[in-house]
Amino acid sequence: MKHLLSIDELTEADLREVLRITPSFAEVAQRRIAKVPALRGQTVALLFYEDSTRTRLSFEIAAKRLSADTLNVSVNTSSVNKGESLRDTAETIEAMGIDAVVVRHRSSGVPWQLTKWLDASVINAGDGWHQHPTQALLDCFTLQQKLGDLAGSHIVMVGDIKHSRVARSDISALTMLGAEVTLVAPPTLLPPATDTWPVRTSHDLDSALADADAVYLLRMQNERQNEALVPDLREYTTLYGLTAERAARLSPTVPILHPGPMNRGVEIAADVPDLDQVVVVDQVRNGVAVRMAVLFLLLGSGAGDVPGVSPEPVAAAEGATP
């Protein structure tokens, strides 16, 4: 595997391998010196054309825990709007001797286009409405922690599926692992051809929640009101929000996920995020471990060479202060 562009380009075996080795990387975070030398001497560029503090930090911490050097390339959004040449940016990065590029872009497809001009590994950190594969991996890992094997489990995903790269990635990953996925959204916020997807769709949140093993809420953006996709956010919350009443009817064993940042009072009632079954913090924590696993698989010296088995003194020798 050279690039991570889309969950759809992974085999089930690839997906399970990432999830299998992720705990070894989670363990690194628990160490006194949370760093292993696996990617020492390698450079990872974080090319973020769209603001995303949490995803960028997560990748940066993941790379640093593997001893890679990181390079933050913040790209002025105004030059993006002018449609600057992607190739120029790619070739500039290539000339600097970068080993991997983590790219976030508001336009679908940019990571694919970059692979045409780059020898470096490309990791998709979110492209347009299209894919966000490491989000799907961390969500699967989090759900497995809570539910065990996901085969046959029923995941209810609620909200703006149409504009969501999280939904597209998670649906592929969850169904690959045997989960059953129900999408709940107003018809205007579903993609036009969900009949070709391996999911069920519903417009009735209460009945979908009745037999849910997990609930995944998506962020609802204010702009959707202006595009006549929903009448207003109040009606959206009434029909599709996880209100306190709906949350109270859920079993406390049903985990509630959200990719963040949450709009309290819109897709999730103000106090619901404080429930114990809301696993947003686990998602963020697992995100670092999953991204370490991905960087290691793409850039590491060899398969099976998981740092969990390498002795801690190597790590300690590197950054320990006496």
Partner 1 sequence: MSALLIRGGTVIDSTGSRNEDIAVVDDMIVPTGAAPSSATVIDASNCVISTGLVDLHAHLGEPGDEAAETMATGGRAAVLGGFTTVLAMSNTMPPVDTAAVVEHIRSLAKAALCRVEIAGCVTVGAAGTHLAPLGELAEAGVAFVTDCGAGVQNPLLMRRALEYAKPFALTIAQPADCVELSVGAEMHEGEWSSRLGLPGAPAEAEEIMVMRDIALARLTGARLHFQTLSTAGSFAIVSAAQRSGLNVSAEIASHHLALSDADLASYNSCRKVEPPLRTRDDVNAACVSISSGALDCIVSDHTPHTTDRKERPFDHAASGSVGLETALAVALSQDIDITSVLRAMSWRPAELLGLGPPSERTISPGVIADLIIIDPHERFSVSTRTQATAGTNSAFEGVELRGRVRTTIVGGRVVVQNGQVTA
Residue 108 binds to partner 1 (criterion: CB under 8 A):
yes
**Residue 165 or 224 having the CB closest to partner 1:** 165
Give all strands of the β-sheet with 154-158 in edge-to-edge order. 200-202, 180-184, 154-158, 214-217, 256-257
Report the distance separating Cα 107 and Cα 86, nearest Å.
11
**CB-based contacts of 281: which residues, under 8 Å, 6+ apart?**
none
Report the distance separating Cα 121 and Cα 300, nearest Å.
12
Residue 113 binds to partner 1 (criterion: CB under 8 A):
yes
DSSP state of 265: T
Q: Which of residues 153-172 bind partner 1 (CB under 8 A)?
A: 165, 168
Q: Which of residues 172-191 bind partner 1 (CB under 8 A)?
A: 191
Residue 83 binds to partner 1 (criterion: CB under 8 A):
yes
Which amino acid type is present at position 234? R
Q: How far is the CB of 11 from partner 1 (least distance, A)?
A: 18
Q: Which two tokens stand for residue 58?
A: 């997560």
**Residue 7 or 46 having the CB closest to partner 1:** 7
**List 192, 252, 302, 304, residue binding partner 1 (CB under 8 A):** 192
Q: How far is the CB of 187 from partner 1 (least distance, A)?
A: 13
**List 23, 37, 109, 273, residue binding partner 1 (CB under 8 A):** 109
Identify the sign of the CA torsion 19, 69, 61, 164. Answer: negative
| Torsion angle (degrees, nearest 10) of CA 58, 199, 189, 277 | -50
Report the distance separating Cα 72 and Cα 266, nearest Å.
33
Give burial (CB, 10 Å; 0-12/13-18/19+) of 138: buried
SS3 label, residue 80 = helix
**List 35, 65, 105, 219, residue binding partner 1 (CB under 8 A):** 105
Q: Which of residues 260-299 bind partner 1 (CB under 8 A)?
A: none
**Residue 63 or 220 having the CB closest to partner 1:** 220
Residue 65 binds to partner 1 (criterion: CB under 8 A):
no
**Residue 14 or 112 having the CB closest to partner 1:** 112
Instruction: Report how far Cα 237 is from the mean position of its chain's Cα atoms.
Output: 24
Residue 201 binds to partner 1 (criterion: CB under 8 A):
no
**List 4, 15, 45, 110, residue binding partner 1 (CB under 8 A):** 110
Residue 240 binds to partner 1 (criterion: CB under 8 A):
no
Minimal CA–CA distance to 136: which of 90, 167, 96, 94?
167
**List 53, 78, 196, 321, residue binding partner 1 (CB under 8 A):** 196
Residue 84 binds to partner 1 (criterion: CB under 8 A):
yes
Residue 85 binds to partner 1 (criterion: CB under 8 A):
yes
Half-sphere exposure of 211 (CA within 13 A, CB side): 6
**Residue 193 or 309 having the CB closest to partner 1:** 193
**Site for partner 1, rule CB under 8 A:** 8, 80, 83-87, 105-110, 112-113, 127-131, 165, 168, 191-194, 196-197
